[in-house]
Amino acid sequence: MLSRRGVLPGFGLSLGYTLLYLGLMVLLPLSALAYRAAGLGFGEFFRIATEHRALLAYELSFGISLLAALTNAAFGLLLAWVLVRYTFPGRKLVDAMIDLPFALPTAVAGIALTALYAPTGFLGEPLARLGIQVAYTPLGIFMALVFTGIPFVVRTVQPVLEELDASVEEAAAILGATRLQTFTRVILPGLVPAALTGFALAFARGVGEYGSVVFISGNMPLKTEIAPLLIVTKLEGYDYAGATVIACVMLGVSFLSLLAINLIQRRLVRPL
């Protein structure tokens, strides 16, 4: 199965170590999950997977992750555009801070967003007066997922935008396109694959996100209970079978959606 090419020594050692580590650290735990799920039998698996409470949790997790990733796509494009194309005071600081959601532990982000959007919070209070409650509602989950997803689209689109050939835009302008036409017909198509990658990453991250969401969501079963929290709840009740089933469904849907995005992307890239 392994036909090697390359003249440098160390193939056996690096292959052996890599496979051993991956096998023990990644594949063994995953197979424990798969084995536990398989042991339940199809009927039992299906019954747990489609419980009312579980269905609502998937709907919440996948639905809000989708909305948050869409928001990230739009504002990620905007941020990347502004950071690459314009100069303004503090641009480097704004750029550096984009990675904050990667660097800030999610538990910290979670309590900070909750404090910000609680009915007595800095932003929560004025919003509450307008009749909008953010913390402890699905809107709060949305806010947390937008926060965790910000860097993905910005960091995938930014390098592509930097590499864009300015002469194409000039050509479009000379041929009489308005700036908006140039953007939507010339620039945007080039950015879509990168934005889609960022969108998919933000979505996948949002689906599995736990730390930044549990504080702001309020964790009410059937209302603001995300799927990862349902896993934790089931584990705390020593319901290993239940936790395993929800985990398998989540992993399955995540992999399928990443696969679908990959396929869409191949279609998008081919004609270029």
Partner 1 sequence: MSAAASPPPPGQRMYHGHGTPAKTEGRLARLFLIGAALTFWALFLLAPLVIVFGSALSEGIEVYLAALADPETLSAIRLTLLASAIAVPVNLLFGLSVAWLISKYDFTGKSLLITLIDLPFSVSPVIVGLMFVLLFGARGWFAPLLEALDTHVIFAVPGIVLATLFITAPLIAREVLAVMQAQGDSEEEAALTMGASGWTIFRRITLPKVKWGVIYGVILCNARAMGEFGGVSVVSGHIRGETNTLPLHVEVLYNEYQFAAAFAVASLLAFLALLTLVLKQFVEWRAHKKLHALSMQDVPAPLSLPPTPGVSS
Residues 181-220 that bind partner 1 (CB under 8 A): 182, 194, 197-198, 201, 204-205, 207-211, 215
Residue 100 or 268: the one with the smaller Cβ distance to partner 1 is 100
80 burial via Cβ count (<10 Å: 0-12, 13-18, 19+): buried
Report the nearest approach of partner 1 to the CB of residue 264 (Å).
14
Residue 56 or 104: the one with the smaller Cβ distance to partner 1 is 104
Query: Under the criterion CB under 8 A, does residue 48 sit at the interface with partner 1?
Result: no
User: Which one of the spans 44-52, 127-135, 184-192, 251-259 is the region binding partner 1 (CB under 8 A)?
Assistant: 251-259
Gyration radius of the chain over CA positions: 23
Q: How far apart are CA 51 and CA 41, in angstroms?
A: 16
Query: Under the criterion CB under 8 A, does residue 177 sit at the interface with partner 1?
Result: yes
Among positions 228-247, residues that touch partner 1 (CB under 8 A) are 228-229, 231-232, 235, 240, 243-244, 247
Report the nearest approach of partner 1 to the CB of residue 73 (Å).
13
Q: Per-residue b/e over 183-192, b at no fewer than 16 CB within 10 Å?
A: eeebbeebbb
Report the nearest approach of partner 1 to the CB of residue 116 (Å).
5
Whole-Å CA distances, 124 to 67, 115, 194, 261? 21, 8, 34, 35
Closest CA to 71 of 210, 255, 202: 202
Residue 137 or 195: the one with the smaller Cβ distance to partner 1 is 195
Rounded to a whole number, what is the distance in angstroms from the first to the last CA of the chain? 35
Query: Under the criterion CB under 8 A, does residue 66 sit at the interface with partner 1?
Result: no
3-state SS assignment for residue 8:
coil
Among positions 136-175, residues that touch partner 1 (CB under 8 A) are 143, 146-148, 150-152, 155-156, 158-160, 162-163, 166, 169-170, 173
Q: Which two tokens stand for residue 5?
A: 């090419």
By CB under 8 A, name the one of 104, 139, 253, 264 that touches partner 1. 104
Report the nearest approach of partner 1 to the CB of residue 43 (Å).
21
Cβ atoms 222, 92 nearer than 8 A: no
Query: Under the criterion CB under 8 A, does residue 21 sit at the interface with partner 1?
Result: yes
